[in-house]
Amino acid sequence: MKNIAIILASGNGERFGENIPKQFYTFKDKTLLEHSIDAFEQNKNIDEIILVTNPNFRDLAEEILSKNNYKKISKVLDGGKTRVDSSRTGVFEAPDESNVLIHDAVRAFVTQDIINRNIEALKEHKAVGTAIDTVDTIIKVNEDNCITEIPKRSLLKRVQTPQSFRIELIKKAHNLALDENTVDFTDDCGLILKYNLAPIHIVEGDEINLKITQKSDLEIIEKLWK
């Protein structure tokens, strides 16, 4: 069973405040995209990497790939308008009888332990999510910005990526979403839940596996960097 990493690098990064998407921003002499690809390229359990990139910056992505001479990149695909579209593009290009690890490129500091936990969990589970505990109390509010519920903190976690699946399961989810023209989902586990296709097993993430949304997030990474 092959393990395929699908790296989603098709966002615009509008909140980052640069004239290029944040996945192309440089941190410690490498772009965030390079840091992300490196993690999967170096993992001995990953067989291939499918990169889904922003079509407006495809030339830049391919320049980065060429410079690094990555061995595991098997396909470079143009992403869609939404994350669901981009994820579907990568999933539909993955080979049959494989596991896929779908990862956001801007979580550029994913650890080898996280990748390995996902792969190990797929031996027993069809769907796997990555998450960490929340240290804050989370509240639910209504449209008037008033608290309606305070869920029990011990049952809440902060979602990360990769989110990993047996290929036949996630293809089924995306086909169902395509039939219904579903676009309002921010991750693939949400599709599995929507169609009640399988239990989603959770593995432990890491604080350093932070989604880089603003430049201030890199200050946090700087403190966590080893």
From first to last of its 226 residues, the chain has per-residue pLDDT tens of: 899 999 999 987 555 556 788 999 999 999 999 999 999 999 999 999 999 999 999 999 999 999 999 999 999 999 988 889 999 999 999 999 999 999 999 999 999 999 999 999 999 999 999 999 998 899 999 999 999 999 998 889 999 999 999 999 999 999 999 888 766 778 899 999 999 999 999 999 999 999 998 888 888 888 887 6
Name the residue among 108, 165, 110, 102 with its Cα closest to residue 132: 110
Show the DSSP H helices in 42-82 as ranges. Answer: 58-68
| Residue 15 backbone dihedrals phi, psi, to 5 degrees | -80, -5
- Does residue 8 contact residue 86 with C-beta atoms inside 8 Å? yes
User: At how many degrees (to 10) do helices 83-93 and 167-180 cross?
Assistant: 130
pTM of the entire structure?
0.94
| Rg of the chain taking only CA atoms, in angstroms | 17
Q: What span, in angstroms and rounded, lies between the C-alpha atoms of 214 and 101?
A: 25
